[in-house]
Amino acid sequence: MPVEFAGGEAGLLSAWFLGLSMGLTACTITCLPFMGTWVIGRGGVRRAVILDTAAFLCGRVLAYALLGATAGALGVWITDVLAAGIGHLAIGIASILAGLYLLRPVRVRHACGAARQGGEAPPFLIGAALSLTPCAPLASLLAACALAGSAGGGFGYGIAFGFGAAVTPLILLLPALGFIGRQMTGERLWLARGLKWGAALLLIALGARRLLLL
């Protein structure tokens, strides 16, 4: 059944609650294997974990906003595109690239060998790619955006949905995984390198598995 949000602030609030319903449930289960592996592989540096989590969430919000705008402008055909498996393709590519990114040679900047910057491209790409996974809340959002009948209206619903989905337990779980990683490695450079390589290979394997689902 088509979903139609009320106009104005009430409609945006409805979209936000719809995103929240997903962010607190399915989002965590789907996203944790990818982002949790990335955080462990990066060495768990506190600042990097925070920035990478922010990049991941920004990727999700932007993807939902663009999906909403597309549905508002062109209709619900985008739902069929997502159902055809484009999400698996995007997730597979993003995960493999993240794994390869971890394997790149970097200058060691502190005892654990992890870079400090954070906010790198792979978490952003993973967040955007994972937003292309078909689910009931996303289908409802796109139906409502199509009924809005404009790219602007769809963009507004999409970004409200994205901010709702950004309220996720991952905000707490990823820093917790980073803390565990720091406690495990400490000054043991060999273990930090082992976790980095293991995480990279796991991300590549997760990506390859997604591609095999096509």
The model carries a pTM of: 0.88
pLDDT at 7: 59
- How many degrees, rounded to 5, is the angle at CA 131 between CA 35 and CA 50? 35
Q: How far apart are CA 178 and CA 186, in angstroms?
A: 12
Q: Which of 5, 164, 159 is nearest to 70 (CA)?
A: 159
Closest by CA to 60, choosing from 119, 129, 118, is 129
- Residue 9 pLDDT: 64
The CA distance from 60 to 183, in Å, is 30
Q: Over the chain, what is the mean pLDDT?
A: 87
Convert the pLDDT of each residue in 49-86 to its tens digit.
999 999 999 999 999 999 999 999 998 888 888 988 89
pLDDT of residue 1: 44
Task: Indicate the domain borders of the chain.
Answer: 8-212
46 and 178 Cβ atoms separated by less than 8 Å: yes
pLDDT digits (tens, 9 = 90+) for 143-195: 999 988 889 999 999 999 999 999 999 999 999 998 888 887 766 777 888 88
Q: What value does the mean pLDDT take over residues 193-210?
A: 94
CA dihedral 179, 181, 185, 189 (to 10 degrees): -120
DSSP string, 110-168: STT---S----HHHHHHHHHHTTS--HHHHHHHHHHHHHTSHHHHHHHHHHHHHHHT--
Query: So what's the pLDDT on residue 4?
Result: 57
Taking only the tens place, the pLDDT of each residue in 94-150 is 999 999 999 987 665 544 444 456 668 999 999 999 999 888 899 999 999 998 888
